Amino acid sequence: MNVQARVTRRYRFCAAHRLHAQELSDDVNRKVFGKCNNLHGHGHNYTVLVTVKGDIDPQTGEVTDITRLDDLVNTKIVERFDHRHLNHDRAFQDVVTTGENLAKFIWDELVEEIPVGQLAKIGLIETRDNYFEYQSD
């Protein structure tokens, strides 16, 4: 009988962004996004929580290969965004850099490449008060 479990790994990066929707006027953007619409942007110390689910391997006792997962997330997410401005990344040229959109982007980047197991959830901590979660149903 297969026994399933979940494992969550935590990753961190620092990045700047500006909340601004191209299709909205500058006035509306200021009203909708407030101080987060600052022309020069603002920064966050992001924490990304990557949850993988799967069968517990009877030999290793693990759900996934942690070393390979760490390499994947560090290469595709942390190195790409750390000490960068998210609005300057090609992925966000036509997408507002909200936490919701960033969490979905991270999901899309990782979902097909999880080394063992299946991606279950992405959690994104942006501030003490802002936590975003994405999972595909």
Residue 131, CA distances (Å) to 124, 127, 128 in order: 6, 7, 8
Identity of the residue numbered 5 = A
Catalytic residues: 36, 83, 126
Q: In what order do the strands lie in the sheet with 131-134?
A: 84-85, 4-17, 42-55, 118-125, 131-134
Question: How far apart are the C-alpha atoms of 89 and 86, rounded to whole Å?
Answer: 5
